Structure 1
Amino acid sequence: MDESHSELAWLRTLLHSMEDALFVHDLDGRILECNNAACARMGYTREELLRMRTHDFDAPEFAAGFQERLSEQLAKKRYRCEGVHLAKDGTPIHVDIHTTMIDFLGQPAVLAVMRDITDRKRAETERETLRTRVLQAEKLESLGVMAGGIAHDFNNLLMGVLGNASIAMLDVPEDSRVKRCLEQIESAAQRAANLSQQMLAYSGRATFTFKRLDLRHLVQKAAPSLAASIGKHHRIEYRLDGDASIHADESQLRQVLSGLVANASEAYGDNEGVITVSLRVEHIDHDMLAARHIVGTLTDGTHAVIEVSDSGCGMDERLIERIFDPFFTTKFTGRGLGLAAVIGIVRGHRGAISVSSAVGKGSTFRVYLPAAVSKAVEAATAPRKSAPSADGAVLVVDDEEAVINVSKHGLERAGYTVFTASSGKEAIDLFGAHADEVGLVILDMTMPRMSGEETFRALKAVRDDVRVVVSSGYSRADAALRFDSDQIEDFLQKPYRARELVALVSRIFQRPAPVEASRSTDFQI
């Protein structure tokens, strides 16, 4: 008897010294024995556990499979699986379970050893989240490069349409039917140019003019136009608790707000609904980043958060994965880039977007933008004022014939002498022969063989004080990466009308623009 008691005491010591939780339960799941580690992990006393069944603390989805696991256990005698338990305080615990059929005090029972793998599961989730974000970033980058390239080529093509239409309109009477047709052509080309700008926005290459903005003031200013853009059965509630300043482009951020609010309105359809627009300041750290579905790149630190939420139709995971794809829509009437342009603008501001949604419950979009920590500086590519000087000839350098024709016609009509070159080499040769005559160069940023930057350096080598306006189907932001702002006069976004070019040249030469040019308006979004 003493030997038997000694052996039993030794077994209990062994049982309670284990770090893994150990349970013995019958075929109904009723707990017959447990060790100290099981009590400590689950938060119950031994007496409480001995009155429970194992599926009492299984997570619901895991408890549902008890009978299936037991059947496999009885067939194989040994079994292994992973599951989730809920501690007494509700904390989920991921476990790796090894079970063996045993005889316990004369009845068949299951010996279950449960190892806590919560930290491992958390690490796996973080790795998967990181992998998903990397894949998303690569997808956005590749689509962005493609969208930027298409926008550039598209803008060059539009130069022939928009530019020639604007010139032709100057040569026909105001009451002419041809004039009305040309106006419609110009209007359609302008809409196409706006779509091209959306593609640049998606690629993160939109034209941004950064300045310090009070985010609350920006939202308040945008409120009337936002109210006009939603369905008649919808209304917007504002919760502007945050007091944040950011460095941003005001018009582009208004487009972000407009896109998110329009998306929320469409989620309600013809039903009544409330759209909530909130502002706050939030400190982002690594743990918060790992827990959220974020598109874009964020760093630790203080961020202004714009939140737009609705309780409309909501989305499943499959839709969430695609909502930022260009031209993706769930609406028959959808067109344009929509949320794709929104994410492009946000990325261009070094921010990110998180999305949470459930079918039938609504969606919440959160835009994270780095909070301003210092006084705003002027945009790197802001135009600089030219010193007063006499007029001179204008050298237009572009590999697109349509661009050269529109520019030459418009400038000559305004009284300027114009030289044209279709390549960097031709421009250098021409400038070398007329260096004293040329007062300004309109230089295409991307040309084959000899790039805009190489041509620019060669022109400066001939005459250091030559004034240059860089032009491109890409954006001002791209020009900022290639040219120092103090070396160029300005940036001219393609496609442009002849009168817009004339107005720019007249400003640089500091003389009044012709009447036609003075009617120029900015058509950029």
Structure 2
Amino acid sequence: MLKNVLDAIPDIIGVQDTEYGIISYNKAGYRFLGLTPEETKGKKCYELIGESHPCKECAASLTYDTHKLERMEKYLPDMHCWLDVRTYPVLNREGKLVQVIDHIRDITERKEAEIRNTKLEEQIRSTQKLESLGVLAGGIAHDFNNILMAIMGNAEMALHDIDLSMETEGYLRDILSASKRASGLTKQMLDYSGRNEPKSKPVDVNQVIQDTGMMLSVSVSRKTTLEYDLAANLPDVFADPVQQLQQVIMNLMTNASEALENKPGTVKLSTALKLCRAGELNETFVNDDLTPGNYVIIKVSDTGKGMDSKTLSRVFDPFFSTKFTGRGLGLAAVLGVIRAHKGAIEVTSEEGKGSVFTVYLPACSEYRRKNKKKAAIKPSSGEGHILLVDDEDSVKEITGKMLSLLGYSVDFASDGREALEKYRNDPERFACVILDLTMPVMDGAEAFRRILELNSEAKIIVSTGYTEDAVIKEYSDLNIAGMLQKPYSLSDVSQVVKKVLMK
């Protein structure tokens, strides 16, 4: 009767002696092991799961010592399962331990669910951290562009002074050169924030890699062996080929080469096409809102030192580096670019064996379009009255000088409310309005709408530290006549204002 009851229990029930020897199991136990009662006779419990000695922190061992109920969770890698093991002492009348009863339950589903939930929580925390840092980076980039606007604008205006000495001209050109490099850093910050919308078009990833090949060869150590494995007949991806996709490839390859620590090693770049099903990209960074479908894969692997789990968890943090000379946004900018392209990135690494970075970009089927080179545009003069609205005095001052040099008359306002009052007093006076979007009291977007209520034909140029695509996406309801992206030059002002006034 008791045997029938035990055999009806779905959990494993077993009895062993005081030296790990198996006495018997119920049907669930033999079924789990795939053995018969005869095959378990004379065997130790740990031998049945492929071990040569008792398990670490074995529940039975503890029960032998304590004569009490003990419990442990055990993972069996060969069987790919988790077990909840409880051991109960069987004592004789003298209180001596004579047997141990095992109660073992398969908890694989619960443990896998816990692991999935833990990973999901880590991804959520990582996403929240990235979003917070992205907002911070975007804000800093916007303010920094205002400062650069004043530096670059004044230097450029000074270069128009015909009485400049050659030495002074050299100083000014050095200022412009350094400012342009600083502008590149703000671009990286916008890339990281995900607010630098790519100027996307159908792009052949393999072609971008081939075009980048020469730069790659001179950017890595001579001790680094570069290998390429580019899949044939890949579909295009929607991407910004020069400014962003090329940056991703360069940063990943340079990072992989530096992981070799100037020792002989291999960096391999490969491409492939992969059909990703729902949930398949859950292990990647930036996997929010990814749709199932075909993805073009860019994989960069190295034979370097690899990363521990602590380093791996911070690999995309801005300005984080394991190198003394490491600085900048490197992999953080890569993450921002991939986010802007609606893609994902996966990182695997093992200490002493190297790392693998895998980029997923949504594939498209449109034909590639050839780039058309734009001819250089020289500043040209114009006429008319312009209302310039910006809360940064330095930006107002230098942009006003640029407009005056180009032949325009300028009125100034420091916020949306002041701009609205000036425009309301004499709407016919202004040929166009140059309007910053981020201002106190009344922001640019609200002022934009209110000016259009006064004059639906008003020509309004938006001045911003963000990219044109990002602004259009954010303010799609505004009828924006033109765009000036800070820091802009005299030529930019001339071109945009003239184009708007000719409409």
- Which of 390, 409, 412 pairs up with 1:398? 390
TM-score (norm: length of structure 2): 0.88
| CA 1:424–1:355: 2 relative to 1, 3 Å | same
In structure 2, the residue matched to 1:518 is none
Aligned residue runs from structure 1 range 167-182, under 5 A: 167-171=157-161, 176-182=166-172
| CA 1:501–1:472: 2 relative to 1, 3 Å | same
SS of equivalent residue, structure 1 residue 268: coil
Return the alpha-carbon distance in structure 2 between the equivalents of residues 467 and 191 of structure 1: 33
In structure 2, the residue matched to 1:108 is 98
- Which of 482, 486, 489 pairs up with 1:494? 486
In structure 2, the residue matched to 1:12 is 3
Offset at residue 415 of structure 1 (A): 2.1
Offset at residue 482 of structure 1 (A): 3.6
| CA 1:350–1:232: 2 relative to 1, 3 Å | same
Aligned residue runs from structure 1 range 454-465, under 5 A: 454-465=446-457
SS of equivalent residue, structure 2 residue 364: coil
Q: Which 4+ runs in 1 deviate beyond 4 A?
A: 57-64, 66-69, 172-175, 373-377
Which letter does structure 2 place at the counterpart of 1:310? D
- Which of 296, 310, 327 pairs up with 2:302? 310
Q: Is the 8 A contact 1:55 1:66 kept in 2?
A: no
Offset at residue 293 of structure 1 (A): 5.1
Give a deviation string over 1:80-102, Cα, whole Å, max 9, x none: 1111235xxx2221011111123
In structure 2, the residue matched to 1:99 is 87
| CA 1:273–1:509: 2 relative to 1, 3 Å | farther
In structure 2, the residue matched to 1:43 is 34
Return the alpha-carbon distance in structure 1 between the equivalents of residues 442 and 368 of structure 2: 36
Which letter does structure 2 place at the counterpart of 1:407? T
SS of equivalent residue, structure 1 residue 331: coil
Return the alpha-carbon distance in structure 2 between the equivalents of residues 60 and 335 of structure 1: 48
Q: Is the 8 A contact 1:227 1:235 kept in 2?
A: no
Return the alpha-carbon distance in structure 1 between the equivalents of residues 52 and 394 of structure 2: 66
In structure 2, the residue matched to 1:480 is 472
In structure 1, the residue matched to 2:497 is 505
| CA 1:28–1:298: 2 relative to 1, 3 Å | farther
> Are residues 1:194 and 2:159 paired?
no
In structure 2, the residue matched to 1:323 is 315
Unaligned 5+ residue runs, structure 1? Answer: 1-9, 378-389, 512-525
Q: Is the 8 A contact 2:59 2:87 kept in 1?
A: no
| CA 1:401–1:486: 2 relative to 1, 3 Å | closer
Return the alpha-carbon distance in structure 2 between the equivalents of residues 114 and 269 of structure 1: 49
Return the alpha-carbon distance in structure 1 between the equivalents of residues 250 and 392 of structure 2: 36
Return the alpha-carbon distance in structure 1 between the equivalents of residues 286 and 210 of structure 2: 26
Q: Is the 8 A contact 1:444 1:452 kept in 2?
A: yes
Return the alpha-carbon distance in structure 2 between the equivalents of residues 62 and 376 of structure 1: 64
Aligned residue runs from structure 1 range 135-284, under 5 A: 135-171=125-161, 176-241=166-231, 243-250=234-241, 251-284=243-276
In structure 2, the residue matched to 1:436 is 428
Q: Is the 8 A contact 2:47 2:53 kept in 1?
A: no
> Are residues 1:25 and 2:13 paired?
no
Return the alpha-carbon distance in structure 2 between the equivalents of residues 231 and 451 of structure 1: 50
| CA 1:340–1:462: 2 relative to 1, 3 Å | same
Offset at residue 507 of structure 1 (A): 4.0
Give a deviation string over 1:182-213, Cα, whole Å, max 9, x none: 11112222221111111111111114212222
- Which of 119, 122, 146 pairs up with 2:112? 122
Return the alpha-carbon distance in structure 2 between the equivalents of residues 415 and 57 of structure 1: 91
- Which of 48, 55, 59 pairs up with 2:46? 55
Give a deviation string over 1:97-137, Cα, whole Å, max 9, x none: 11112379x99332211100000001111111111111111
| CA 1:76–1:28: 2 relative to 1, 3 Å | closer
Number of residue equivalences? 485
Q: Is the 8 A contact 1:297 1:351 kept in 2?
A: no
SS of equivalent residue, structure 2 residue 428: coil
Offset at residue 175 of structure 1 (A): 5.2
Give RMSD over aligned pairs.
2.8
Give a deviation string over 1:389-427, Cα, whole Å, max 9, x none: x96333221111111111111122122233322222332
Q: Is the 8 A contact 1:244 1:280 kept in 2?
A: no
| CA 1:74–1:293: 2 relative to 1, 3 Å | farther
In structure 2, the residue matched to 1:453 is 445
Give a deviation string over 1:67-92, Cα, whole Å, max 9, x none: 68504443133211111235xxx222
In structure 1, the residue matched to 2:374 is none
| CA 1:421–1:287: 2 relative to 1, 3 Å | closer
TM-score (norm: length of structure 1): 0.85
Offset at residue 234 of structure 1 (A): 1.1
Which letter does structure 2 place at the counterpart of 1:146? L
| CA 1:397–1:21: 2 relative to 1, 3 Å | same
Return the alpha-carbon distance in structure 2 between the equivalents of residues 305 and 163 of structure 1: 42
Return the alpha-carbon distance in structure 1 between the equivalents of residues 459 and 208 of structure 2: 36
| CA 1:451–1:150: 2 relative to 1, 3 Å | same
| CA 1:245–1:124: 2 relative to 1, 3 Å | same
Which letter does structure 1 place at the counterpart of 2:308? D
| CA 1:177–1:485: 2 relative to 1, 3 Å | farther
Which letter does structure 2 place at the counterpart of 1:347? R
Offset at residue 359 of structure 1 (A): 0.9
| CA 1:139–1:54: 2 relative to 1, 3 Å | same
Aligned residue runs from structure 1 range 335-484, under 5 A: 335-372=327-364, 392-484=384-476
Offset at residue 433 of structure 1 (A): 4.5
Return the alpha-carbon distance in structure 1 between the equivalents of residues 187 and 52 of structure 2: 48
> Are residues 1:132 and 2:122 paired?
yes
Q: Is the 8 A contact 2:390 2:413 kept in 1?
A: yes
Unaligned 5+ residue runs, structure 2? Answer: 370-381
Q: Is the 8 A contact 1:172 1:179 kept in 2?
A: no
Offset at residue 256 of structure 1 (A): 1.1
Moved more, 44-53 or 165-174: 44-53
Give a deviation string over 1:222-242, Cα, whole Å, max 9, x none: 222222221111132222226
Offset at residue 343 of structure 1 (A): 0.8
In structure 2, the residue matched to 1:517 is none
Return the alpha-carbon distance in structure 1 between the equivalents of residues 239 and 213 of structure 2: 18
| CA 1:23–1:489: 2 relative to 1, 3 Å | same
Return the alpha-carbon distance in structure 2 between the equivalents of residues 78 and 337 of structure 1: 55
Offset at residue 255 of structure 1 (A): 0.9
Q: Is the 8 A contact 1:314 1:361 kept in 2?
A: yes
Return the alpha-carbon distance in structure 1 between the equivalents of residues 362 and 38 of structure 2: 54
Which letter does structure 2 place at the counterpart of 1:363? S
